[in-house]
Structure 1
Amino acid sequence: MKEQYPVMEGAEPFYFEGDKTGVLVIHGFTGTTQSVRSLGESFNQAGFTVFGPRLRGHGTHYEDMERSTYIDWCETVDEGYHFLKETCDDIYIAGLSMGGTLTLHLAEQYPQTKGIILINAAIDIPEMSPEAVPAVRFLDAIGSDIKKENVEELAYEKTPVKSLGEIQQLVKETRQKLPQIQVPARIFVSEVDHVVPPENSSWIYDRLASEDKRLIPMEDSYHVATLDNNKEKIAIESIAFINGLTSSATV
């Protein structure tokens, strides 16, 4: 798809060069790279090479998003995966919300992925079904579900109803892939989330075929946990996860 609006300041893709361990960091539905940039910076400070792509139709204008499809979003992260593979030996994937859904999509597609990090990942959100919302073109924003005061997510001020159909198709297809995913996983879940029900993370945990998987509760953050009170916890636990797998592979 061809976007018709310029990219918002702060919504650009980011790339931080590091060692041969690559981490793909994926933002969420109606959101931007701003929501995961801090996590990407933490990964880079730990020495990793990091890429945060901007999903097509995101970070410009909600009319661009209305024209995009879940196939566009899958293609964006697929391109990001191969971009990191050009210089990195091992690839990890981290995703927030729909970014977690796309992380699962990639993990099934590329079983050689070393590990995945899911943050309030979406796999079943019936309240976002187009049938469950008014018959309008746009809804109010769903962004900035953040407990910490004076912190705001850079996200669209409106949500295209058509896009709700796209994310529903993505989560439907991804749910069917969970039993095929065997890569190590860390699943972060906020105890209170006003966008994606926390039960999504338990559902994912129960159905992943991964032998190495862990559910990590976050007691002091809402949906956009990467900008919230538990963002340091996410970074510390995720870096330890990656370093642990990397060191075990070299033993």
Structure 2
Amino acid sequence: MIKDVSFFLPGINNSGVLLIHGLTGTPNEMRILAKGLHKAGFTVYAMQLAGHCGDEQDLCQTNWQQWYESVTEAAEFLQKQVDHFFVAGLSMGALLSLKLAAEKPEWVHGVAAYGPTFRYDGWSMPKYAKHLFFLLTWFERLGIFQDKTFIEQPPYGLKDVSIRAAVSASMLDGDSASAGLAGNPYPALAQMQYLAKNLRQQLNRVTAPCLIMHSSHDDVADIETNARVIEKNVSGPTQFIALDDSYHLITIDRQRKEVIQQSVTFFQNIVNGHFPKQESINE
């Protein structure tokens, strides 16, 4: 049975942020960011994607359309309660955030994409895996290797050693509700590839301002082939921030305070009518 670990924090400034975790992840990877946004006055809803926070079978019984449907349901709930609605996601959650902005421009006033991931091509990914991901959709169509799982390896998206130890311990102990799954099932990875392909065709429909934050040393997803794709293809204004002391999970890694600060400022600027200019910032 899947445990519901989503959480809701009511704010005071009539602005809300929907937070979306990544593939095989959990709302807990957005908790530190959620608390920071809430402290700044925002209403925050850290949702749980369909099929997540259970076991691999639970995840593989869902597809990317169901993940996105759970996003739209959460967004509809939150946007009715606030005057300014924002959406932010980590890794695959960033893709889902952008898709919502593309399809519901009347809802979304701004998007924050943290470590957006179209492909797994970071420095820690083995060469065979980089090529394997391209074949995952073919495996799915042919019905082969559907019982296989790509097991995550150190550093698990975390440069901070102490946080890495805590997260990996929970993950490897099977506490998927707290730390997510230890591996990525091939069927789920194939579904993510379908989502990525779908979003690429919609990026030019994103007109809301976008904050893009990505580690220049991302171990999972290379900044140039992932984050820059968004910067180059969305139609709205972008603010690009490259972090230099984090790995993939920037919402909980060493520069988590920077992520909070930049996000709060970005959302507040939109509320105040100061849309961010087209710019690129390298930390």
TM-score (normalised: structure 2): 0.81
Conserved 8 A contact 1:123-1:204: no
> 1:55 and 1:216 mapped to 2: Cα distance?
26
- The Cα shift of 1:52 comes to 0.8
5 Å matches for 1:163-242? 163-199=188-224, 200-210=226-236, 212-242=237-267
Aligned: 1:6 with 2:18: no
Residues 113-128 of structure 1: pairs in structure 2 closer than 5 A: 113-125=108-120, 127=130, 128=133
Query: What's the secondary structure of 1:227's corresponding residue?
Result: coil
Is the 8 Å Cα contact of residues 137 and 191 (structure 2) preserved in structure 1? Answer: no
- Residue 171 of structure 1 deviates from its aligned partner by 0.4
Offset at 1:63?
Answer: 1.2
Q: 5+ residue gaps in structure 1?
A: none
Q: Distance in 1 between matches of 2:138 and 2:66?
A: 24
* Match in the other structure for 2:151: 141
Per-residue deviation, 1:39: 0.5
Separation in 2, partners of 1:132, 1:194: 25
1:40 aligned to 2:29?
Answer: no
Aligned-pair CA distance for 1:131:
6.2
Aligned equivalents of 2:80 and 2:216: distance in 1? 38
* RMSD of Structure 2 on Structure 1 (CA): 1.9
Q: Give distance in 1, aligned partners of 2:71 and 2:137.
A: 28
1:148 to partner: Cα distance: 0.3
How far off its partner does 1:197 sit?
Answer: 1.9
- Mapped to 2, the partners of 1:203 and 1:186 lie a distance apart of 13
Q: Given that residues 138 and 158 in structure 1 are in contact (C-alpha distance below 8 angstroms), is that contact kept between their aligned partners in structure 2?
A: no
The amino acid of 1:227's aligned partner reads I
SS in 2 for 1:238: helix
* 1:72-87 correspondence runs (5 A): 72-87=66-81
d(CA) in 1 for partners of 2:246, 2:161:
11
8 Å contact kept, 2:216–2:222: no
- Percent sequence identity over matched residues? 28
Q: Following the alignment from structure 1 to structure 2, what is the Cα–Cα distance between the partners of residues 62 and 29? A: 12
Query: 1:196 deviation in Å?
Result: 1.6
Q: Distance in 2 between matches of 1:157 and 1:124?
A: 19
Q: Deviations over 1:109-157 (max 9, x none)?
A: 1113110000011234473331699936232433831000121441202
Change (3 A) 1:172 1:247: same
- The one-letter amino acid paired with 2:145 is A
Normalization by structure 1: what TM-score? 0.90
Deviates more, 1:138-147 or 1:215-224: 138-147
Aligned pairs, how many? 241
AA partner of residue 230 (structure 2): I
- Residue type matched to 1:139 in 2? T
Of 91, 113, 120, which residue of structure 1 is paired with 2:85? 91
Quote the Cα distance in structure 2 between the aligned partners of 1:172 and 1:202.
Answer: 16
Residue type of the partner of 1:176?
A: Q
The 3-state SS of whatever aligns with 1:116 is strand
Query: How many angstroms does 1:248 deviate by?
Result: 1.9
The answer (yes or no) to whether the contact 2:87–2:112 under 8 Å persists in 1 is yes
Match of 1:51 in 2: 45
